[in-house]
Amino acid sequence: RQLRGLHGLALLLLALPLVTNADADCPCEEPTLCRPIRHHPDHEVFVFDVGYKTWKYYDWSQITTLAAFGKYDSELMCYAHSKGARVVLKGDVSVKDIIDPSFRASWIAQKLILAKKQYMDGINIDIEQEVNCSSPEYDALTALVKETTDAFHREIEGSQVTFDVAWSPKNIDKRCYNYTGIADACDFVFVMSYDEQSQVWSDCIAAANAPYNQTLTGYLDLYSRNVNKDLIVLIIVYYTFGGSLLNFVQKGYCTIAKVPFRGACSDAAGRQVPYKVIMKQINSSISGGQWNEDQQAPYYNYK
Ligand SMILES: *[C@@H]1O[C@H](CO)[C@@H](O)[C@H](O)[C@H]1NC(C)=O
Ligand SMILES: *[C@@H]1O[C@H](CO)[C@@H](O)[C@H](O)[C@H]1NC(C)=O
Ligand SMILES: *[C@@H]1O[C@H](CO)[C@@H](O)[C@H](O)[C@H]1NC(C)=O
């Protein structure tokens, strides 16, 4: 017992200068709020935040992690930590560069410095770039995720490293990634179950952003590649694509302009319409709120 007491004192003395230094720059009213979150919840409710102080309206009793895709906001970090929620950085890098192991090491080191400076709890790697299956980038990407995870876990206790994947592993938008390897290399992967019309190979017909069957097919394809199911988290979005239609063929069936994306006609023909606008527009729309049985999705027509 005495021994333990002494150890405790020694640890306290050693730890004291470090803690004081770290807490000195802490922007939160309560300096302990700058410490990383260590608790691991049973399930994640992860929010991708794009800024504008919308976080003030979130239901923080549900949120476990927030990825800060907007401008850094220390007030948000302090608030999230006070609610036991993690705040993580966004990580993006050119896949051409990551073939070089020393480039990867310096990129990871930079992100770690930033994460510590901003009192963040990890990083969400969001590389939405084309990768050829037989290219050196293919394995380099898996290596980047593994090395980032190892470094963050080592340097920031309790930290979290995650990766965003397209709604299906079938080379969506020419992204050939090692899904199994990437999922195993990080804490979990997010399936971006939206923007599923980024490449429409059949007729150029307007469709739901995330039709039910298409979403399900994407998951089944991931499972069939033995991606660990426990590591998969669904993402839904609060927007859709709207835009001018070429031709109103029949109810719920409209052709869209050919604005190709990587070789196919695409939702690039429209523009993103946020949830807030949708909820206003629906009331003044021609059709009012409708339900498409085939796609299991709501829609409306408007002028
Ligand atoms: C993938 O391969 C195609 C054709 O060989 C090439 O045009 C393209 O630049 C490559 N993309 C990347 C990211 O290396
Ligand atoms: C994916 O990555 C893992 C780990 O690096 C490797 O063992 C596996 O062979 C890769 N799988 C494919 C299909 O490339
Ligand atoms: C959705 O998938 C199920 C099962 O594969 C299939 O039976 C059904 O016809 C599909 N519905 C549409 C609208 O494609």
Domains of the chain: 41-192 (3.20.20.80)
Alpha helices in 41-127 (DSSP H): 74-82, 101-117
Alpha carbon distance 220, 223 (integer Å): 5
pLDDT tens per residue, range 90-125: 999 999 999 999 999 999 999 999 999 999 999 999
Catalytic residue among 128, 130, 137, 155: 128
Question: Average pLDDT for residues 173-182, to the nearest whole number?
Answer: 90
Count of positions (residues) in the chain: 303
75 is catalytic: no
Alpha carbon distance 115, 40 (integer Å): 19
Q: Is the distance from the beta carbon of residue 255 to the nearest atom of ligand 1 less than 6 Å?
A: no
CA of 225 from ligand 3 middle (Å) equals 21
Nearest to 181 by CA among 215, 130, 231, 127: 231
Handedness of CA 114, 118, 123, 124 (dihedral sign): negative
Contacts of 232 (CB under 8 A, 6+ apart): 183, 188, 189, 191, 219, 222
Protein residue with its CA nearest to atom 1 in ligand 3: 213
**Bridge pairing between strands 46-49 and 65-68:** parallel
Ligand 3 atom having least distance to the Cα of 294: 13
Half-sphere exposure of residue 10: CA atoms within 13 angstroms, side-chain side: 6
pLDDT tens per residue, range 129-145: 999 999 999 999 999 99
32 confidence band (pLDDT: 50, 70, 90): very high
Do the beta carbons of residue 147 and residue 193 sit within 8 Å?
A: no
CA of 75 from ligand 2 middle (Å) equals 41
Mean pLDDT score across all residues of the chain: 84
User: Residue 153 carries which DSSP code?
Assistant: H
**What pLDDT does 25 receive?**
87
- Best residue among 202, 213, 217, 294 to mutate for probing ligand 3's pocket (most ligand atoms within 8 Å of CB) is 213
Question: Average pLDDT for residues 190-199, to the nearest whole number?
Answer: 81
Measure Cα distances from 186 to 133, 152, 232, 274 in Å. 21, 10, 11, 31
- Ligand in nearest proximity to the CA of 294: 3
Residue 76: both structure tokens together: 């948000």
Percent of the chain with pLDDT over 90: 49
Residue with tokens 């979150």: 37
Q: What is the CA radius of gyration of the chain?
A: 23
247 confidence band (pLDDT: 50, 70, 90): low
302 confidence band (pLDDT: 50, 70, 90): confident
82 confidence band (pLDDT: 50, 70, 90): very high
Question: Average pLDDT for residues 290-294, to the nearest whole number?
Answer: 89
Q: What is the pTM of this model?
A: 0.82
Nearest to 262 by CA among 198, 212, 207, 204: 198
